């Protein structure tokens, strides 16, 4: 009943929005930065986890997009119930714009079947700045709609999500910028950020060798006007207390991403190179990096449901 009420409320809110353009950046290795787009993930494992990611797109172009993400989360117990808290920091420069998001995250956990369901929210601030000071426009500066000096603004930002982890698979659904914040920039300009929906999932496929396994996954991102789909397959090999990974990710009509990664002790690293399938791919590509550090909190000794995240890279 709780889950049905949550989903009803979730979709009712979404029906109130009219989306125009996607605002969120997307990291090619989306499974490594789940907390960026789904606050329900925080505290889903029994570890303190710190993650960082960097994406540089359209290499070779001036003022090409650069995105950075930092996140940290951990579980805790309150009144005998498992919960999670986290923090999310995002910074992006794209053209003359700089976008920043800061969010505090909370997730409530409950056992469901053989897995664990998290329902979470993010409350924070969204900041947008525009700096045209290095652009020479000649005499074309009389339009009041175009600022001639640096302007910036900030607005409240809210996100909501659900994330389910099973020993064999995971699935998540979330929406960012739930309140469709409008950022006022100076006296004559405003920037409306429309909600973005995310649907993600993945699983483990065993092979004949216990040292080798396959993880398919996907991410669907939509603002109800345009949709981006990422389909990923990764092959893992465990050797000498180390895990190595390689794979491919395909976004129809957009790009193919080549993936490599490794887990050594408590540190997981990954690199992805995006090769665009459009004509722009002949002159440009994108780089995507992440690093993840996790450490045990000995929390599992007091938790009856001892599921761990199947996210390895």
Res 31: pLDDT: 94
Res 2: pLDDT: 44
Instruction: Collect contacts of 23-27 with beta carbons under 8 A, ≥24 apart.
Output: 23/99, 23/177, 23/193, 23/194, 23/196, 24/176, 24/177, 24/196, 24/221, 25/55, 25/65, 25/67, 25/90, 25/92, 26/219, 26/221, 26/228, 26/230, 27/53, 27/55, 27/67, 27/69, 27/288, 27/290
Q: What is residue 29's DSSP assignment?
A: S
pTM of whole model > 0.85?
Answer: no
Q: Could you tell me the residue ranges of all domains in the chain?
A: 2-133+148-231+298-302
Res 253: pLDDT: 85
Alpha-carbon distance of 198 to 4, in angstroms, equals 19
**What are the start-end ranges of the E strands in the chain?**
47-56, 66-78, 81-94, 97-112, 115-130, 151-165, 169-176, 182-185, 189-192, 196-203, 205-206, 212-222, 227-239, 242-251, 255-264, 267-276, 285-296
The sign one gets for the Cα dihedral 73, 74, 75, 79 is negative
* Residue-by-residue pLDDT tens, the chain, 313 positions: 444 444 444 444 444 333 344 578 889 999 999 999 999 999 988 899 999 999 988 766 667 788 999 999 999 998 888 999 999 999 998 877 889 999 999 999 999 989 999 999 999 999 988 877 766 555 555 555 555 667 788 899 999 999 999 989 999 999 999 989 888 877 777 888 889 999 999 999 999 999 999 999 999 999 888 899 999 999 999 998 899 999 999 999 888 999 999 999 999 999 999 988 876 555 568 899 999 999 987 644 444 444 444 444 4
* The pair of three-digit structure tokens given for residue 16, joined into one six-digit string: 């109130």
Res 190: pLDDT: 80
Alpha-carbon distance of 259 to 262, in angstroms, equals 11
Alpha-carbon distance of 248 to 234, in angstroms, equals 7
| Residue in 26, 17, 13 with CA at minimum distance from that of residue 286 | 26
One-character DSSP codes across 139-194: T----TTS-SS-EEEEEEEEEEEEEEE-SSEEEEEEEESTT--EEEETTTEEEE--
pLDDT for 136-194, tens place per residue? 555 555 555 555 667 788 899 999 999 999 989 999 999 999 989 888 877 777 888 88
Q: What is residue 299's DSSP assignment?
A: G
| Residue in 193, 202, 197 with CA at minimum distance from that of residue 220 | 197
Alpha-carbon distance of 48 to 25, in angstroms, equals 25
Q: What is residue 225's DSSP assignment?
A: S
Res 24: pLDDT: 83
The pair phi, psi for residue 136, each rounded to 5°, is -95, 120
Res 143: pLDDT: 55
């Amino acid at each position: 009943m709780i889950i049905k009420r949550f989903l009803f409320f979730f979709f009712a809110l979404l029906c109130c929005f009219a989306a125009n353009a996607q605002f969120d950046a997307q990291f090619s290795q989306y499974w490594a930065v789940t907390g960026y787009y789904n606050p329900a993930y925080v505290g889903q494992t029994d570890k303190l986890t710190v993650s960082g990611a960097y994406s540089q797109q359209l290499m070779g172009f001036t003022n090409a997009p650069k995105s950075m993400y930092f996140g940290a989360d951990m579980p805790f117990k309150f009144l005998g119930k498992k919960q999670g808290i986290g923090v999310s920091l995002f910074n992006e420069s794209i053209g003359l714009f700089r976008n920043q998001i800061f969010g505090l995250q909370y997730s409530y956990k409950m056992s469901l079947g053989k897995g664990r369901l998290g329902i979470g929210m993010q409350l924070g601030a969204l900041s947008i700045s525009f700096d045209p000071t290095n652009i020479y426009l000649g005499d074309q500066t009389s339009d009041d709609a175009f600022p001639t000096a640096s302007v910036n603004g900030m607005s409240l930002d809210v996100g909501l999500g659900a994330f389910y982890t099973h020993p064999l698979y995971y699935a998540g659904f979330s929406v960012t910028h739930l309140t469709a914040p409008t950022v006022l920039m100076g006296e004559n300009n405003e920037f409306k950020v429309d909600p973005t929906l995310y649907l993600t999932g993945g699983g483990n496929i065993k092979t004949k060798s216990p040292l080798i396994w396959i993880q398919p996954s996907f991410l669907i991102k939509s603002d109800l006007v345009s949709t981006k789909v990422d389909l990923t397959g990764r092959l893992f090999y465990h050797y000498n207390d180390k895990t190595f990974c390689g794979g491919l990710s395909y976004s129809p009509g957009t790009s193919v991403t080549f993936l490599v990664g490794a887990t050594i002790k408590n540190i997981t690293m990954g690199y992805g190179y995006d090769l665009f399938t459009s004509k722009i791919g002949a002159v440009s590509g994108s780089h995507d990096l992440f690093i993840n550090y996790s450490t045990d909190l000995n929390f599992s000794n007091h938790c009856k449901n001892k599921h761990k995240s199947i996210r390895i890279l």
